[in-house]
């Protein structure tokens, strides 16, 4: 049964209320309210690994969300290996959601890679379109964004209407800091991507991610050389889907 879309006013009031609650409490609320109609996307960043650990603590009787990873075909081997570690550690299944074209098919169609010539289109085809396709079957989705990561994310509510994808968006870590995330990882011995220890505070696809330099912002290694800080999943602007 699909839940009717809530009003923006109701979501804002709810979000304000949840500001004082822990991410664990927010996740437990989301699972209780949405059940099988809840999805969670993870790219296995530090924040996503924290949320997966928190979900696992809800217990075996909890109806966990549909957890998935957008497998673009360009992910680091370390990221793919972390998926296996996460699944083994917690007994969770993280499904791959893939584009309709393989990397080889797409690059053949364009006459080569487009990640260094048109990264927005590459992100649209490898991430936005597959995400829109999978989210159409759900009423709400969980993201691992923090407000202090980018200007777009600074506007995120704990709960809000995601007009780009047409469902409720829940961001339990919105008011956490990077320090909060890593304190949780250390305290709870959460598995994380070893690339974080090699100068990659933010990890995306390998062609568009480099280590950051001393004094740089934590997302400076993403799409270096472009005026781009988001793949489009969490930006406020509308991205065409066809």
In whole angstroms, give the CA distance from residue 23 to residue 50: 10
Is 75 within the bounds of a domain? yes
Active site residues: 231
Is 176 within the bounds of a domain? yes
Please, how many CA atoms are within 13 Å of residue 89, restricted to the half-sphere of its CB?
Answer: 20
Instruction: For the chain, state the CA radius of gyration.
Output: 17
The pTM of this model reads: 0.89
Is 122 within the bounds of a domain? yes
Which of 25-39, 93-107, 160-174, 202-216 shows the lowest per-residue confidence on average (mean pLDDT)?
202-216
Residue 140, classified by CB atoms within 10 Å of its CB into exposed (0-12), middle (13-18) or buried (19+), is buried
Contacts of 89 (CB under 8 A, 6+ apart): 191
What confidence score (pLDDT) does residue 93 get? 94
Domain boundaries, position 193? 8-200
How many CB atoms are located within 10 Å of the residue 57 CB?
13
Span 80-98, average pLDDT: 96
pLDDT above 90 (res 3): no
Is 2 within the bounds of a domain? no
Which pair of tokens denotes residue 89? Answer: 């550690």
pLDDT above 70 (res 242): no
Question: Which residues contribute to the annotated binding site?
Answer: 122-123, 205, 208
Span 218-241, average pLDDT: 60
Residue 116 to residues 68, 107, 119, 238: CA-CA distances in angstroms? 26, 12, 6, 22
Question: Which residues contribute to the annotated binding site for [4Fe-4S] cluster?
Answer: 122-123, 205, 208
In whole angstroms, give the CA distance from residue 206 to residue 63: 34
Closest CA to 196 of 73, 96, 78, 81: 78
Is 234 within the bounds of a domain? no
Is 206 within the bounds of a domain? no
Per residue in 46-86, pLDDT tens?
A: 999 999 999 999 876 567 899 999 999 999 999 999 999 99
CATH for 155: 3.40.50.620
pLDDT class of 213 with cuts at 50, 70, 90: confident
Per residue in 116-175, pLDDT tens?
A: 999 999 999 999 999 999 999 999 999 999 998 877 788 889 999 998 899 999 999 999
pLDDT above 80 (res 6): no
For the chain, the domain total comes to 1
Please say whether the beta carbons of 188 and 196 come within 8 A.
Answer: no
What confidence score (pLDDT) does residue 50 get? 98
% residues pLDDT > 90 (the chain): 72
Is 221 within the bounds of a domain? no
Is 47 within the bounds of a domain? yes
pLDDT class of 203 with cuts at 50, 70, 90: very high
Tell me the three state secondary structure of residue 96: strand
């Amino acid at each position: 049964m699909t839940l009717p879309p809530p009003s923006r006013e109701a979501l804002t009031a709810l979000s304000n209320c949840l500001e004082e609650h822990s991410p664990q409490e927010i996740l437990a609320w989301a699972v209780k309210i949405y059940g099988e109609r809840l999805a969670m996307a993870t790219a296995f960043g530090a924040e996503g690994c924290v949320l997966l650990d928190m979900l696992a603590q809800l217990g075996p009787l909890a109806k966990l969300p549909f957890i998935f990873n957008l497998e673009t075909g360009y992910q680091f081997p370390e990221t793919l290996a972390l998926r296996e570690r996460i699944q083994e550690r917690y007994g969770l299944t993280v499904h791959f959601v893939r584009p309709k074209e393989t990397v080889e098919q797409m690059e053949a169609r364009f006459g080569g890679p487009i990640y260094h010539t048109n990264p927005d289109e590459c992100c649209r085809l490898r991430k936005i379109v597959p995400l829109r396709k999978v989210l159409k079957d759900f009423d709400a989705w969980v993201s691992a964004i923090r407000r202090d990561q980018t200007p777009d994310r600074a506007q995120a509510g704990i709960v809000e209407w995601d007009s780009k994808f047409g469902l409720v968006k829940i961001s339990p870590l919105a008011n956490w800091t990077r320090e909060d995330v890593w304190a949780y990882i250390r305290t709870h011995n959460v598995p994380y991507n070893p690339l974080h220890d090699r100068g990659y505070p933010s990890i995306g696809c390998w062609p568009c991610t480099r280590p950051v330099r001393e004094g740089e912002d934590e997302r400076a290694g993403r799409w270096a050389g472009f005026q781009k800080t988001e793949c489009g999943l969490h930006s406020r602007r509308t991205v065409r889907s066809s």
